[in-house]
Structure 1
């Protein structure tokens, strides 16, 4: 009876959402701003306008006044699909070079620099066409020499520093199959400056500092060869697209083509594809649309229309499979099954997307319930990666202990057969519509989400398909179960798929990109072009910063005997309810496992499957997250279903019952997951870092031993769950209901004792103080080496936070920092490198320093020496320092902590012993910080100090003798790192 009641309540809520999705009409409408035509879709919740300038440039604008910032994406419909056959990776090369500046930006004298750049271009043409090894080496030596002379005139990374001065966050770009996209997140007051710089950037790009950037791309290629997931993805594309560039060309390109670049070919590619007919400027955020389109038109009117023929290919032949591929590598084993989907905007694409959600949606999909919930596999899911002409439909899973990948594959196909036979819950389709609606509401507040959706629409069909995006819910709500079954039987055929088995083993096919001889080039980071001075002098209206007054932003009350913190949601009908406990795994090692166990058990009245379905049906969710010192229960979703969701969880937590079969399966899966972590180089490095910071007994390896896990019983776990709300905790609510009303509603169903139990005594981990250099080494089969520097410094003092922030901006926190410019731009030693002085999260902890370089193993000695030079001697650049301060000032002025973020900001301040918003103090004191302050800081905290070096790499490529020159070497076993 209870199950039927839940289903009826859920269905009632779903019918409301279902009806809403069908009430609106969507059609293209037209308008004009000062003669500039635009189109928009009626009832678009983002109110997006698609402008087309006279030269064909697309401008897509969506206003969102939530914060004084704008997400900007400049999208080009060109990627690896459009790379020339003899120059794969070219689009990606070009993406890197578009950060090098123009004839006015990035150079002290372009007239003096240009002869060198022309010479470099011609030398690369010779290099490209030469096969003799000795001659190639001689040509490259000359390239290196001429590049060094050119670099004396250039200013490395001036574009990045200019954007940082404007207040941009996350300056970046990406290249993929059909796209190259340049990304910024700027203050709204910098928009006109931004548009001028971007117009000049694409009008007059200069390809300078090329050979060191080329080496960074080599390093990026090496990283992909160390990434088993990347290799599986490439194999998936190769098998699904045996004739077209979707599968036959990769974004980074082949090693052979990387070794033989052509600057002339890159320029030709730019001239062909970087034209207004093939580009879009996409802005989402705080601006006035009418004013912005006039400014864009003014800045980009110079572009000349040049029609572009998109990538055309012969239709892919029907897959005659299954096509089976084995990928070898050191990481955990898994299996992926791929089907080829239809083009963007087609009904086939929409149906395939729906199929992926029926299979896996995190709660009530077939893989979720039948495989993950029943613990028949370690984990699994499904997704659709959609391109313009095709989709990649991927179903994946990881095996349990003693389970073959072939068995896992069969289990996945059983879920497909269930869909084909129609043996799934009729309510699932309505629930999917409700959850899509929930995601849509959440996504409206995010500038990046808005811009990303619009970018994808432009890449697919220049925005013509936006009406289908806007009306997606309406179309989805009309799909019947019969439609799904019919499509599944047509889509999932007997042999039209590929299977990729990722198996553990040595990949002997890997060819490392050889290290060339590169002489470090000058970066001239203390110089500034006249162009940058002019841009910085342009007027901008400062944004008034907003700080949180916690006494006003948060209302305090009671929910029974529990403290209640309240922040109203004035934007929409979503709620988030939290229960926060000041205890975690350091208080009780079994709490994380108890939280996991809760997902697989039910009550006397409802099974775990029924509970998951009930939550999904009402577009709500719950989570129990156990940290080291805190535990947070989260219940969220549509406010109209608040009480149903909260009572569902309350009933589950207080009335959950033991399930021995579920526990046995959970322990087996945990054992396998723990074993898999030992194969993950990211997890290994995390463990090495924890060992370096805390010693042999540290937070990372504080976990159950294999024996303790084996002996864990249901009663212990169930007791931990049943007793949880008996400990002191704070209730926090963000939603549209008033404080008084929500206090009563929570107190009605959230039963707590009149006096809380004391927390179990928590373990304390103290950071070590390094007294001598030490090297912690762990062997891993990889092309690269990864090095981290770790050092613990002084106890937390809030007065040091500002200095640390400015230092990070200047030294190692981004592409304009000293570390990036020296290690990557000047010396070409790494693709990824950074260094940060970390502020602790609680007043009892210490500040710490971390630096990182990931480079080819044969560059490791040079990389370590390069970072050590910076750690010991801080280079001075007045221009970079002022840029670092300006960037931080802009960040503080435009930072807006809103919604439930206010609650967690308050808790974070409390942990540091603060009762105020420290951002206000930083902003008021920022003007008084000078370079001498951070130089003194650097000398006191970092220079000449001992460090623990965490080194991860292959013992076949890294010599112990080299490590011993750094400090005492300790080779750690995986058991020492992981604690089991």
Structure 2
């Protein structure tokens, strides 16, 4: 489960829709399978909109690209409709909707129910009691009674059921005005899925509550450790003093988290989880005439009921900048936010266009003036659309030597240019062309289709308007945008949030309550779930890749061309792939980054960016440790122009001293900021654990080497790139032969390729004793990773590794999750899995993770170690894991350029076949004994390196030395500079 609080970037939104300028989009009514539905003419997704007799909205968008279905069950209720005295309640309920009903999730409902009723009443006493001593006594009784009730509960039975039917990404999220339950299932399992979902929403039982509440505490602590989260909360609080967008947060206050009410949660469920306030959104491989009958039969029992209306006083216009200051350990940045009308208005659609005028990745004002010219380390603008209001967000990060007021001046300077119309006359049409391309790509994905439909449903956006948006925006004039900008972007009508790098003195940790581990009854199964498992399902035959048949081959001059033909639309993706990277030359990634700031003798860097954007094309050069990839994508009609534009840039880019000066400053500031990133610190520790003090992570330029960078050297690397051996990959409408002929002219290569520079070799360490690597970071939580270098890669082990990972530590239904989170409430996030290498000559690696409160770290480490040394046995769990693997593989379709990259990945492992075929065949013959033997051989009693990132104020050296020899590398040792 997760909070949907991330900022939504424009091109991922549902507003970009493909429709010709001449098309008209209108709602029409039709009948199929005995049910009446509405549809929008000219809708490329062919979505149908039904309203059942009980008011339930059903949206179906069929596509047969893969034999799977993306399902969303959405409720139009979120934190905005939380009671003021029980904030976070919608999110609580989201977590509890995975706990089952009176029919499943229980071994004996008759014996469980009285205990759950008692827990209900105990929480009410707990909430109404102010005396701390009495509260502790009541909590002891809650803990005791919860343990008794858990003896009759089957933890995670819902998740096990979904895994057994081949479900993927079983999850849910809560936001301001939506709570959404998401599943990705095989099309063959839809009857089981709908039966399970209908039961799930019939009578949810709030069992195993106090351990789940602790998981929510952990989620709150993660939020307290997240500076971006704190910035967003401060921004919304200032923007919306009258609306619950700003008055309360999705996860709730610490005080309300400490005083939950099961009765209030249940009241919320009965108020908002009613059919006329819910939607079932499905996209995938099905016949909609058949599917609607199935949905109606399963959800027809639900009874319509009026829902409480949400009302609020309109926000008063902002007359002067409202400033907020946020402190935390991560790098400083600045956010400016303007308030706009809500998602259903035309102004919200114009806002999306205006956001792209500022940031579109290539030719926006921020892109060209702030990022391209390196005036800021990063800068972007994006629109955040909600039902009642929308927001234009500006975010900037300073380069070295700047303060946040400098960032403010630069970003507001671009807003002033927008208000004056100081942007290219043809930029709006270029944006529309890129929207069209984006929409084509979105419509290829059944997941993205469902997501767009779901977002429109919960925010109240008319799908017809969405479908027609591109046509609408293509008619918008520059004068209209300038007028729109002047209407809403005044000199002083914004909120500004200064994110300072420093100690947050206001942070309040959610304290750890005493929790006795509860039973999870992992091997048990309710009669209801047994009945669902017994339901018939249509068999789906797996489809294996045949690298000889599925990949076309040709040549372009002396370069091999591997191709998969796109027979669906006009999108192309082209790659030049080199078997060299930073291990061959540490300057290669720097040269790749430098290219984006360079021009030629005929075009400036800004003109090149504009030209690519006008073509609705993109290019990128990326250099990893061992692979460098040039990628170009766009519309096939612009293939020649796009490739020519890139080839000219690569061959004729010229040194730019000013750009290099800016790049050096950018590199240094980025490196400083990386040291303030806990994930980067952990990555450095993990590399240290695997390879020792000199490792791939700190194989970077020194500060002195950055100072001595020369423009001529970097440009020489770019000019010479084409002289090294590489492979061309193409996915697009042309055949391989046609592509080869075209590129033989456009992509000039030498008669003989140069040899790759010698590659630096890193050797994995043998782990013969327990060690602890510690990185200090100012945070509430402690994060621990267990790292072990294993033996050499062997394809024969792939099936048992897949089964071990699925059963033991990957996913909500795994042993690790059930034990550490469900039973012991020691973490919000935890996992463990065995990782195969990317190359046949490399070793396997084992990784485990727990993110927990610092004061729970000893218990969490102990719990994981117990599982690693004594893996619990559950034959039903192994069977469910096997079912999940086989059904996932049965319904997986590797398509498009995924075929090419799967082939190249197989080659690196020394394989010439689809590895999934062996796993699919072998896994059915494996059992718990095989998994146990694998775990005993590879992990039981073996030494590990513990990588720990935590605050040294919360975790002591003595604590850490209990687990092994303690090493505390400083930041220079971790990062290499």
TM-score bracket, normalised by the shorter chain, equals: over 0.9
- Report the equivalent of 2:685: 688
- Report the equivalent of 1:725: 722
Matched, 1:548 2:584: no
Partner-residue secondary structure (3-state), 2:20: helix
* Distance in 2, Cα, partners of 1:363 & 1:703: 28
Partner-residue secondary structure (3-state), 1:928: coil
- Report the equivalent of 1:119: 118
CA deviations on 1:929-980 (whole Å, 9 max, x unpaired) are 1111110000000010000000111111101111111111011111111000
- Report the equivalent of 1:39: 38
Matched, 1:251 2:256: no
Shift of 1:926: 1.5
- Aligned residues: CA RMSD: 1.0
Shift of 1:310: 3.5
Aligned with residue 568 of structure 1, among 532, 556, 565? 565
- Report the equivalent of 1:12: none
* Distance in 1, Cα, partners of 2:331 & 2:354: 27
- Report the equivalent of 2:9: none
- Report the equivalent of 1:854: 851
* Distance in 2, Cα, partners of 1:838 & 1:677: 26
- Report the equivalent of 1:6: none
CA deviations on 1:651-692 (whole Å, 9 max, x unpaired) are 000100000000001000110000000001111111111111
Shift of 1:21: 3.1
- Report the equivalent of 2:891: 894
* Distance in 1, Cα, partners of 2:320 & 2:688: 48
- Report the equivalent of 1:325: 324
* Distance in 2, Cα, partners of 1:787 & 1:856: 11
The answer on whether the counterparts of 1:161 and 1:883 sit within 8 Å (CA) in structure 2 is: yes
The answer on whether the counterparts of 2:553 and 2:737 sit within 8 Å (CA) in structure 1 is: no
Matched, 1:398 2:397: yes
Partner-residue secondary structure (3-state), 1:622: strand
- Report the equivalent of 1:9: none
Partner-residue secondary structure (3-state), 1:966: coil
Structure 1 residues 120-139: aligned runs within 5 Å:
120-139=119-138
Partner-residue secondary structure (3-state), 2:924: helix
The answer on whether the counterparts of 2:566 and 2:896 sit within 8 Å (CA) in structure 1 is: yes
* Distance in 2, Cα, partners of 1:613 & 1:954: 46
Shift of 1:742: 1.4
* Distance in 2, Cα, partners of 1:568 & 1:352: 37
Partner-residue secondary structure (3-state), 2:294: helix
- Report the equivalent of 2:706: 709
- Report the equivalent of 2:108: 109
* Distance in 1, Cα, partners of 2:312 & 2:482: 31
* Distance in 2, Cα, partners of 1:257 & 1:771: 48
Matched, 1:666 2:671: no
Shift of 1:309: 3.5
* Distance in 2, Cα, partners of 1:184 & 1:871: 30
* Distance in 2, Cα, partners of 1:488 & 1:450: 31
* Distance in 2, Cα, partners of 1:554 & 1:303: 50
- Report the equivalent of 2:62: 63
Shift of 1:355: 1.1
Structure 1 residues 323-362: aligned runs within 5 Å:
323-362=322-361
Structure 1 residues 419-434: aligned runs within 5 Å:
419-434=418-433
The answer on whether the counterparts of 2:400 and 2:666 sit within 8 Å (CA) in structure 1 is: yes
Shift of 1:18: 13
The answer on whether the counterparts of 1:823 and 1:829 sit within 8 Å (CA) in structure 2 is: yes
- Report the equivalent of 2:529: 532
Distance change >3 Å, CA 18–CA 841, structure 1 → 2: closer
CA deviations on 1:55-110 (whole Å, 9 max, x unpaired) are 00000000110000000000000000000000000000000000000111101110
Matched, 1:745 2:745: no
Partner-residue secondary structure (3-state), 2:591: helix
- Report the equivalent of 2:596: 599
CA deviations on 1:462-500 (whole Å, 9 max, x unpaired) are x6x111110010000010000000010011012110100
- Report the equivalent of 1:48: 47
Matched, 1:76 2:75: yes
- Report the equivalent of 2:373: 374
Shift of 1:616: 0.2
TM-score, L = length of structure 2: 0.98
Shift of 1:34: 4.5
- Unaligned 5+ segments in structure 2 are 1-15
Matched, 1:25 2:24: yes
* Distance in 1, Cα, partners of 2:121 & 2:37: 45
CA deviations on 1:313-340 (whole Å, 9 max, x unpaired) are 1111111320011100000010000001
- Unaligned 5+ segments in structure 1 are 1-16
Structure 1 residues 136-535: aligned runs within 5 Å:
136-461=135-460, 465-535=462-532
Partner-residue secondary structure (3-state), 1:696: coil
* Distance in 2, Cα, partners of 1:468 & 1:694: 55
Distance change >3 Å, CA 212–CA 757, structure 1 → 2: same
* Distance in 2, Cα, partners of 1:665 & 1:846: 40
* Distance in 2, Cα, partners of 1:320 & 1:866: 55
TM-score, L = length of structure 1: 0.98
Shift of 1:290: 0.5
Distance change >3 Å, CA 268–CA 452, structure 1 → 2: same
The answer on whether the counterparts of 2:343 and 2:385 sit within 8 Å (CA) in structure 1 is: yes
Aligned with residue 950 of structure 1, among 947, 962, 966? 947
* Distance in 1, Cα, partners of 2:735 & 2:852: 55
Partner-residue secondary structure (3-state), 2:582: coil
The answer on whether the counterparts of 2:18 and 2:439 sit within 8 Å (CA) in structure 1 is: no
The answer on whether the counterparts of 2:433 and 2:616 sit within 8 Å (CA) in structure 1 is: yes
